[in-house]
């Protein structure tokens, strides 16, 4: 297969991007969304209806610069679950409770609240359910494509598709690693979707070739 | 005349598409008891979108002092059963099938089965030697298997230092089932009910299956069928020969009772015979006390669970429990015992009903429709209405078929809608190029379906997977592609109005 000048430059750019991505992953790993990595959480029953924006303002002040996530607990919007990157220090816990007491005129005591450690959800546990269906689908699709294009260099098409999809996925993964996009199952699914779309585009192109032939 | 009929047909199809869209996007409201209520069901959201139950489990640290039998190798072979007589501390053991109750007064040493000694030991629910990372991982793996075989959507977090487990499951799941999958160790034992000695443990258990029987007189009865390996089957055979009802010497009328009949129904037989009972225990909880009526040579034990009932709802609850027990027993037993310490409902941080999301979706659909109208004029307008109708019908089908909408399923939904718009665009391009509508349609449809066969393969394979996050993708793709085929036909009728 001949590669012309522009394509050569694009290919070189892609390879450089992948190398850069690999270096970032080797040194710092992927940035994982807070919910999926190890964090600490505290559940606070305020007893009064909580305004999310007010609480966000309080948490911004207390956890200065740290990643955090606020979720409501139960159905009455009077209890919250605050998840914070790494650890919640005693000082942060006290500040949080004091500020909530000030804002909502409550008498919560920091000593009665427990900080729980939440271990990370392992990437392999997230990927686990995909193993069987993705393998089964891939094998079936390869068999179909081989049979469909059996008279038009099927192996070449399969190889070309594989290289294209792999390059695209690796480039996207590198971008995600370099610009520190927090990885979550949603990101993994978007990557899978892009792979499927690319396969459809390649198949469509091949169908047109077949039609012309 | 024919042309007018075609026009009416086209208008009718377009009106139906608009109606379906209105129902899907706005709902169908009917007045019930003076209140306007939407009769269209809501989406069935997955836990990322609807919130989750966060169950926190810690290792059970309880320790109890117990009198236990110790075998010649120093292993615990059962708990000494305390006498049910008026003297709570007294130990009653049955050594012989015809043993008289007077012998209960014998000393503790005399009552100990041959080959065993009795010791008082402090037994920890989780032995110190068992608390290690290897067992934490093993327990996690077994719990995952139990959950996955029951089609749960879940997240699991394991603290490698403390062994603490956090399991996040959707709020609509049966939380008690999830809890029992974690807190039930899964040790099933056959115990001599007279003295508490373990006769058969689960080391030789090969399989466990839930089944039921339905008879006209008694109704439904759930059964747990346990199958043992060769060596355990031999032990089971011996047990089934020993633990039977033996007629008293002065009573010739005694007859063997049928296998595994409940104790309650055997009160009269008890008076006429001496019965050697066995207890079947799951994690120290007795699930059945019974005796055998015939030899069990095949290594299969059929255990009735609950009482026979004609009430279908009552039975389905019992059967659910039997299935749950079978699921637990089919996998290995847990190396550690966990207890639930907290259970919170944590709301999702994604507000799917957010107005911004709704407005953005509406703007996107309006933008695409506008593009079609500007580019393809009247045909563009018709195909846009049909495409919006497609989205509406897809939403209704997904709601009525109870497909669980996860974030993955939303991506799949987005994908099939895009495929539909691409098809419309290709078809209209061909028609604009001057092709006959029918020929253009056949060409476009051939091109589309040969291209999307890989997606069809994914849809079929994913639909049949256990995991909710996978099957939801498959189901959305399946319904999306199925409805598209129907809508393509409508599109042909609508566009074929003039040029036929």
B455 to A196: CB separation less than 8 angstroms, yes or no = yes
Of A73, A196, A207, the CB nearest to B450: A207
Distances (CA, A) of B8 to A196, B5, B493: 40, 5, 11
Q: Is A72 helix (H, G, I), strand (E, B) or coil?
A: strand
B454 to A185: CB separation less than 8 angstroms, yes or no = no
Are residues A106 and A132 located together in one domain of the fold? no
Could you tell me if B158 lies within 8 Å of chain A, comparing CB atoms?
A: yes
Are residues A85 and A133 located together in one domain of the fold? no
CA distance B445 to chain A (A): 12
**Among A76, A126, A129, which would you mutate to test the B interface (most chain B Cβ atoms within 10 Å of its Cβ)?**
A129
Are residues A73 and A94 located together in one domain of the fold? yes
For residue B470, which residues of chain A lie inside 8 Å, CB to CB?
Answer: 129-130, 133
Are residues A177 and A200 located together in one domain of the fold? yes
Q: Which of A69, A87, A118 is the last residue of a domain?
A: A118
Residue partners of B274: CB distance under 8 A and separation at least 6: B97, B98, B99, B245, B246, B248
Measured between alpha carbons, how far is B223 from B215 in angstroms, rounded to an integer? 14
How confident is the model over B336-353, as pLDDT tens digits?
999 999 998 998 888 777
Which H or E run contains A29? none
Rounded mean pLDDT of chain A?
Answer: 89
Are residues A81 and A131 located together in one domain of the fold? no
Task: Return the closest-CA partner of residue B27 out of A176, B19, A193.
Answer: B19
CA distance A167 to chain B (A): 20
Are residues A92 and A65 located together in one domain of the fold? yes
pLDDT score at B156? 92
Q: What is the pTM of this model?
A: 0.79
For residue A208, which residues of chain B lie inside 8 Å, CB to CB?
Answer: 447
Is residue A47 a part of any domain in this protein?
yes
B451 to A207: CB separation less than 8 angstroms, yes or no = yes
Q: What is the strand order of the sheet B205-215 is part of?
A: B205-215, B219-228, B300-309
Q: Which residue has the higher pLDDT, B269 or A35?
A: A35
Residue A182 per-residue DSSP state: P
For residue B474, which residues of chain A lie inside 8 Å, CB to CB?
Answer: 133
> A with B: how many residue pairs have Cβ under 8 Å apart?
102
Kindly state the tokens that stand for B164: 């603490």
pLDDT score at B441? 85
Q: Is A145 helix (H, G, I), strand (E, B) or coil?
A: helix
Are residues A180 and A204 located together in one domain of the fold? yes
Inform me whether the pLDDT recorded for A1 exceeds 60.
no
Mean pLDDT of A118-141: 89
**pLDDT band, very low/low/confident/very high, at A207 (cuts 50, 70, 90):** confident
The separation between CA B451 and the C-alpha centre of its own chain, rounded to angstroms, equals 36
Residue partners of B73: CB distance under 8 A and separation at least 6: none
CA distance B454 to chain A (A): 6
For residue A82, which residues of chain B lie inside 8 Å, CB to CB?
Answer: none
pLDDT score at B86? 41
Are residues A143 and A185 located together in one domain of the fold? yes
For residue A121, which residues of chain B lie inside 8 Å, CB to CB?
Answer: 155-157
Is residue A137 a part of any domain in this protein?
yes
Are residues A110 and A50 located together in one domain of the fold? yes
CA distance A25 to chain B (A): 23
Q: Check if the beta carbon of residue A124 is closer than 8 Å to that of residue B158.
A: no
Of A117, A140, A185, the CB nearest to B461: A140
Residue partners of B344: CB distance under 8 A and separation at least 6: A43, A73, A74, A81, B53, B54
Of B347, B407, B458, the CB nearest to A189: B407
Could you tell me if B455 lies within 8 Å of chain A, comparing CB atoms?
A: yes
Kindly state the tokens that stand for B289: 């006390």
Are residues A127 and A201 located together in one domain of the fold? yes
Q: Is A116 helix (H, G, I), strand (E, B) or coil?
A: strand
Which H or E run contains A69? strand A68-73
How many Cα atoms sit within 13 Å of B195 on the Cβ side? Answer: 25
3-state secondary structure chain B: CHHHHHHHHHHHHHHHHHHHHHHHHHCCEEEECCEEEECCCCCEECHHHHCEEEEEEEECCCEEEEEEEECCCCCEEEECCECCCCCCCCECCCCCCCCCHHHHHCCHHHHCCCCCEEEEEEEECCCHHHCCHHHHHHHHHHHHHHHHCCCCCCEEEECCCCCCEEEEEECCCCHHHHHHHHHCCCCEEEEECCCCEEEECHHHEEEEEEEEEEECCCEEEEEEEEEECHHHHHHHHHHHHHCEEEECCCCCCCCCCCCCCCCHHHHHHHHHEEECCEEEEECCEEEEEECECCCCCCCEEEEEEEEEECCHHHHHHHHHHHHHHHHHHHCCCCCCCEEEEEEEEECCCCCCCCHHHHHHHHHHHHHHHHHHHHHHHHHHHHHHHHHHHHHHHHHHHHHHCCCEECHHHHHHHHHHHHHHHHHHHHHHHHHHCCCCHHHHHHHHHHHHHHHHHHHHHHHHHHHCCCCHHHHHHHHHHHHHHHHHHHHHHHHHHHHCCCCC
B347 to A204: CB separation less than 8 angstroms, yes or no = no
Q: Chain A residue with minimal CA distance to B412?
A: A193
Is residue A1 a part of any domain in this protein?
no
How confident is the model over A138-180, as pLDDT tens digits?
999 999 999 998 888 889 999 999 999 999 999 999 999 999 9
Q: Check if the beta carbon of residue B212 is closer than 8 Å to that of residue B296.
A: no
Task: Return the closest-CA partner of residue A47 out of A104, A99, A112.
Answer: A104
The separation between CA B164 and the C-alpha centre of its own chain, rounded to angstroms, equals 24
Could you tell me if B461 lies within 8 Å of chain A, comparing CB atoms?
A: yes
Is residue A30 a part of any domain in this protein?
no
CA distance B30 to chain A (A): 27
Is residue A25 a part of any domain in this protein?
no
Q: For the domain that residue A104 is a member of, what is the CATH number?
A: 3.30.70
Q: Which domain holds residue A160?
A: 7-20+123-212
Domain count, chain A: 2
Q: Is A80 helix (H, G, I), strand (E, B) or coil?
A: strand
Could you tell me if B345 lies within 8 Å of chain A, comparing CB atoms?
A: yes
pLDDT score at B101? 42
Q: Chain B residue with minimal CA distance to A117?
A: B159
pLDDT in tens, chain B (500 residues): 677 888 888 888 899 999 999 999 888 998 888 888 888 998 888 888 888 999 999 999 888 887 788 877 777 777 777 654 444 333 333 333 334 444 444 445 556 777 778 878 788 888 888 899 999 999 999 999 888 877 678 899 999 999 999 999 988 767 888 898 999 998 888 888 887 888 888 888 888 999 998 887 788 888 999 898 888 888 888 888 888 877 766 544 444 444 444 555 555 555 567 778 888 888 878 888 888 888 888 888 888 888 888 888 888 888 888 888 898 888 888 999 999 999 989 988 887 777 788 888 899 999 999 999 999 888 899 889 999 999 999 999 999 998 999 888 988 998 899 889 988 898 888 888 887 888 888 888 888 888 899 999 999 999 998 888 889 999 999 999 999 988 888 888 877 765 44
Measured between alpha carbons, how far is B160 from B87 in angstroms, rounded to an integer? 47
Residue partners of B488: CB distance under 8 A and separation at least 6: B423, B441, B445
Residue A168: count of CB within 10 angstroms of its CB = 16
pLDDT score at B102? 45
- List all residues of chain B from 51 to 90 with a beta carbon under 8 Å from chain A: 54, 56
Q: Which of A118, A137, A155 is the last residue of a domain?
A: A118
Tell me the domains of chain B and their CATH numbers: 2-45+352-495 (1.20.1640.10), 52-346 (3.30.1360.200)
pLDDT score at B334? 92
Is residue A138 a part of any domain in this protein?
yes
Is residue A26 a part of any domain in this protein?
no
Q: Which of A118, A152, A184 is the last residue of a domain?
A: A118
Are residues A191 and A127 located together in one domain of the fold? yes
A141 to B462: CB separation less than 8 angstroms, yes or no = no
Of B160, B415, B461, the CB nearest to A133: B461
Q: Compute the residue count for chain B.
A: 500
What is the ipTM metric for this complex?
0.85
Is residue A29 a part of any domain in this protein?
no
Are residues A137 and A186 located together in one domain of the fold? yes
**Among B147, B346, B463, B473, which would you mutate to test the A interface (most chain A Cβ atoms within 10 Å of its Cβ)?**
B346
pLDDT score at B194? 80
Beta pairing class for B117-124 and B205-215: unpaired
**Among A77, A119, A134, A206, which would you mutate to test the B interface (most chain B Cβ atoms within 10 Å of its Cβ)?**
A119
A137 to B451: CB separation less than 8 angstroms, yes or no = no
Task: Return the closest-CA partner of residue B409 out of B480, B466, B485.
Answer: B480
């Amino acid at each position: 297969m001949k590669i012309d000048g522009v394509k050569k430059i694009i290919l070189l750019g892609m390879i450089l991007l992948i190398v850069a991505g690999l270096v970032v992953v080797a040194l710092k790993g992927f940035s994982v969304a807070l919910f999926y990595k190890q964090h600490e959480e505290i559940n606070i029953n305020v007893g009064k209806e909580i305004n999310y924006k007010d609480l966000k303002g309080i948490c911004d002040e207390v956890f200065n610069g740290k990643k955090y996530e606020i979720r409501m607990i139960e159905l009455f919007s009077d209890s919250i679950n605050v998840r914070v990157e790494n650890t919640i220090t005693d000082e942060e816990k006290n500040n949080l409770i004091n500020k909530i007491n000030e804002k909502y005129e409550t008498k919560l005591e920091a000593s009665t609240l427990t900080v729980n450690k939440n271990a990370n959800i392992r990437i392999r546990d997230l990927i686990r359910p995909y193993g069987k269906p993705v393998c089964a689908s891939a094998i079936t699709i390869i068999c179909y494509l081989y049979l469909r294009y059996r008279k038009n260099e099927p192996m070449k098409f399969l190889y070309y598709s594989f290289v294209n999809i792999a390059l695209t996925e690796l480039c996207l993964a590198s971008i995600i690693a370099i610009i520190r996009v927090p990885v979550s199952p949603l990101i993994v699914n978007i990557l899978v979707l892009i792979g499927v779309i690319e396969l459809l585009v390649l198949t469509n192109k091949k169908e047109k070739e077949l039609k012309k032939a | 005349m024919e042309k007018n009929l075609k026009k009416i047909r086209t208008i009718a199809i377009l009106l139906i598409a608009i109606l379906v869209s209105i129902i899907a996007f706005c709902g169908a409201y009917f007045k019930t008891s003076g209140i306007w209520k939407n009769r269209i069901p809501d989406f069935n959201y997955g836990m990322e979108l609807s919130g989750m139950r966060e169950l926190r489990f810690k290792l059970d640290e309880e320790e109890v002092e117990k009198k236990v039998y110790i075998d010649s190798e120093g292993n615990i072979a059962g708990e000494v059963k305390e006498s049910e007589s008026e003297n709570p501390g007294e130990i009653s053991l049955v050594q012989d099938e015809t043993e008289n109750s007077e012998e209960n007064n014998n000393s503790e040493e005399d009552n100990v089965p041959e080959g065993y000694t009795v010791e008082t030991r402090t037994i920890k629910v989780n032995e110190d030697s068992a608390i290690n990372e290897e067992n934490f991982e093993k327990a996690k793996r077994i719990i995952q298997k139990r959950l996955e075989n029951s089609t749960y959507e879940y997240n699991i977090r394991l603290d490698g230092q403390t062994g603490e487990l956090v399991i996040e499951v959707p709020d609509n799941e049966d939380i008690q089932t999830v809890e029992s999958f974690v807190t039930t160790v899964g040790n099933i034992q056959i115990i001599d009910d007279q003295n508490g000695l373990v006769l058969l443990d689960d080391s030789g258990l090969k399989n466990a299956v839930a089944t039921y029987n339905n008879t006209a007189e008694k109704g439904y009865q759930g059964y747990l069928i346990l199958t043992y390996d060769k060596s355990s089957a031999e032990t089971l055979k011996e047990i089934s020969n020993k633990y039977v009802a033996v007629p008293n010497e002065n009573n010739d009328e005694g007859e063997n009772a049928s296998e595994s009949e409940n104790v309650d129904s055997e009160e009269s037989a008890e008076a006429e015979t001496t019965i050697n009972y066995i207890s079947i225990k799951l994690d120290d909880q007795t699930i059945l006390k019974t005796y055998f009526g015939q030899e069990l040579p095949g290594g299969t034990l059929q255990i009735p669970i609950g009482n026979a009932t004609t009430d279908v709802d009552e039975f389905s609850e019992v059967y659910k429990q039997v299935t749950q027990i079978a699921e637990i027993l089919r996998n290995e037993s847990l190396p550690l015992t966990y207890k639930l310490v907290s259970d919170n409902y944590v709301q999702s941080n994604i507000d799917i009903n957010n107005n911004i999301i709704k407005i953005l979706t509406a703007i996107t659909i309006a933008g695409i429709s506008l593009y079609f109208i500007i580019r393809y004029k009247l045909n563009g307008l018709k195909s846009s209405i049909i495409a919006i109708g497609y989205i509406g019908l897809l939403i209704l089908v997904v709601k009525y078929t109870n497909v669980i909408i996860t974030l993955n399923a939303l991506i799949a939904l987005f994908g099939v809608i895009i495929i539909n718009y691409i098809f419309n665009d290709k078809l209209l391009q061909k028609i604009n190029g001057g092709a006959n509508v029918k020929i253009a349609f056949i060409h476009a449809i051939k091109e589309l379906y040969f291209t999307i066969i890989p997606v069809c393969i994914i849809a079929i394979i994913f639909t049949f997977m256990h995991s909710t996050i996978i099957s939801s993708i498959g189901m959305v793709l399946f319904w999306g592609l199925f409805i598209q085929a129907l809508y393509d036909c409508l599109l042909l009728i609508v566009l074929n109005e003039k040029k036929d």
